[in-house]
Amino acid sequence: MSDLNANQDRTFPSGEVSNGLAAIKARFEGFHTRKELKLAFSCIDLTTLGADDTQEKGRAMAEKVSLFPRHFSELPNVAAICVYPTLVKTVRINLIDPKVAIAAVSGGFPSSMTFVEVKKLETAMAVAAGANEIDIVISVGTFLEGNFAVVSDEISSIKKSCGNAHLKVILETGALKTPEHIWKASMIAMHAGADFIKTSTGKIDPAATPEAAWVMCSAIREFYQKTGKKVGFKAAGGIVESADALYYLDIIREILGEEWLNPGLFRIGASRLANNLLTSITEEKISYF
């Protein structure tokens, strides 16, 4: 690991996270506008990660995203479609909008409990199939054992397999539990080459939480101050209501600033959220996706 990686520990006094979140909520309460809702929608990674996913489901999702501008011409499209690697080729063939990325969960998702050689190969194959973003999970068990160098080296090696694709590193914050662990995992991932750090797979409870987001965004801010590199943040898992999405948007704005409020640096992994945001924006019940 790099010299910067050698000093990653940080303690969180009792009340620091909750007080920080309370201040953000108070600061932005009543602030939101239709513009904010549209921004949140534009940052969605429209996701399907079910064991019953089919090629037809991937094709239908890509088609709906492609035709979205025809139905909602005044709205931005989603940022990406996120699928398993076996659906990437189908999505690529049927996705017309060049601005929408294709993200593949890879590297032994969702548990990361396989050999690093397999993770690297799966990542390279997903990119070859057409993915331009890769979402992987850190080896949580290895991290909890304290083998931080192994975690870092694994992320770095997978990053090389990404080629020109962006790498999103999932911390699985519900398993890490403490702010100190979330902070350390954030720093390890960023120093190892992550383009984004992401809260959760959505397969473990709790999934995304404002508390984890507060810690991760604070780590991103410190990393940027020390290195000059902007790393993105992705909240994923259990984000369903428009108000929840806007809360994460507020956390980003307060800790990282307006320059992070774009799909290049902020994402929300979601499935049901898209229709709820469309309903909030149009003030009509929408079930497009």
Q: What is each CA distance from 192 to 147, 149, 151, in whole angstroms?
A: 14, 10, 9
In 3-state terms, what secondary structure has residue 44? strand
Q: Which amino acid is at 208?
A: A
Helix (H, G, I), strand (E, B) or coil at 125: helix
Residue indicated by tokens 């902007």: 230
Query: In whole angstroms, what is the distance from residue 216 CA to residue 122 CA?
Result: 27
Residues composing the chain: 289
Q: Which of 119, 184, 198, 250 is catalytic?
A: 198
For residues 127 and 162, the answer to whether their CB atoms sit within 8 Å is yes
**Active-site option among 119, 120, 159, 234:** 234
Whose CA is closest to 218, among 197, 239, 245, 243?
A: 197
Sequence-separated (6 or more) residues with CB below 8 Å from residue 252:
217, 233, 260, 261, 266
User: 249 vs 71, 184, 245, 257, 270, CA distance in Å?
Assistant: 26, 23, 6, 10, 14
User: Is 99 designated active site?
Assistant: no
Rounded distance, CA 42 to CA 46, Å?
Answer: 10
Q: Which residues pair with 198 in a beta bridge?
A: 170, 234
Residue 53 appears among annotated catalytic residues: no
Residue 135 annotated to the active site = yes
* Helical packing angle, 210-227 and 242-255, nearest 10°: 30
Considering 135, 195, 244, 250, which one is annotated as catalytic?
135
Dihedral angle of Cα 174, 180, 181, 185, to the nearest 10 degrees: 110
Q: Could you list the active site residues?
A: 135, 198, 234
